[in-house]
Amino acid sequence: MLEQLKQLEAQALEELDRIDKPRELELWRVRHLGKKSSLTSVLRSLATLPLGERRKIGAQANEIKRALESSLNEKEKSLQEASFTSPLESRWLDITLPGRPLPVGRLHPTTQILQDICRVFKNMGFQTIEGPDVEWDYYNFEALNIPEHHPARDMFATFWIDVGAGAKARLLRTHTSPMQIRLMERERPPIRAIAPGRVYRYEATDATHESVFFNVEGLAVDKNISLGDLKGTLYEFCRCLFGEDRQVRFRCDYFPFVEPGMEVAIGCSVCDGVGCRLCGHSGWIETAGAGMVHPGVLARVGIDPAVYSGFAFGVGVERIAMLRYSVDDIRLFYSNDLRFLRQF
Binding residues for ligand DAH, rule: CB under 6 A, are 175, 177, 217, 255, 258, 261, 289-291, 312-314
Q: Which residue, 46 or 155, is less far from ligand DAH as judged by CB?
A: 155
Q: How far is the CB of 329 from ligand DAH (least distance, A)?
A: 20
The sign of the CA dihedral 274, 280, 285, 291 is positive
Residues 152, 153, 154, CA angle at the centre, nearest 5°? 85
Residue (32 or 291) nearer to ligand DAH, CB: 291
Q: Which residue is nearest to ligand DAH (CB)?
A: 289
Cα 230 from Cα 121, distance rounded (Å):
13
Kindly report the backbone phi and psi dihedral angles of residue 268, in degrees, each rounded to the nearest multiple of 5, phi listed first: -65, 130
For the chain, where are the alpha helices, taking DSSP H only? 2-18, 24-33, 38-45, 51-90, 109-123, 137-140, 178-186, 227-242, 295-300, 317-325, 338-341
Which C-beta is closer to ligand DAH: that of 9 or that of 210? 210
Nearer to ligand DAH, 196 or 314 (CB): 314
SS (H, E, C) 91-160: CCCCCCCCCCCCCCCCCCHHHHHHHHHHHHHHHCCCEECCCCCEEEHHHHCHHHCCCCCCHHHHHCCCCE
Judged by beta carbon, residue 28 or residue 311, the one nearer ligand DAH is: 311
**Of 195 and 327, which CB lies nearer to ligand DAH in the complex structure?**
195
User: What minimum distance in Å lies between the beta carbon of 193 and ligand DAH?
Assistant: 12
CB closer to ligand DAH out of 241 and 312: 312
Least separation, in Å, of the C-beta of 290 and ligand DAH?
5
The tally of CA atoms less than 13 A away on the side-chain side of residue 338 is 2
Burial class of residue 206 in the structure, from the number of CB atoms within 10 Å of its CB (0-12 exposed, 13-18 middle, 19+ buried): exposed
- Smaller CB separation from ligand DAH, 191 or 290: 290
User: Please, what is the minimum distance in Å from the beta carbon of residue 170 to ligand DAH?
Assistant: 18
Instruction: Provide, rounded to whole angstroms, the least separation between the CB of residue 95 and ligand DAH.
Output: 57
Q: Are 316 and 288 in contact (CB under 8 A)?
A: yes
CB of 198 to ligand DAH, least distance (A): 12
For residue 6, what is the DSSP state? H
Q: Cα(first)–Cα(last) distance of the chain, in Å?
A: 87
Burial 294-325 (b: 16+ CB within 10 A, else e): bbebbebbebeeeebbbbbbbbbbbbbbbbbe
Nearest CA-CA partner of 290 in 180, 126, 142 = 180
Residues 6+ apart with CB under 8 A from 89: none
Q: Toward ligand DAH, which CB reaches closer, 16 or 143?
A: 143
Shortest distance, position 186 Cβ to ligand DAH, whole Å? 18
In the complex, minimum distance from the CB of residue 111 to ligand DAH, in angstroms, rounded to a whole number = 20
For the CB of residue 272, give the shortest distance to ligand DAH in the complex, in Å. 26
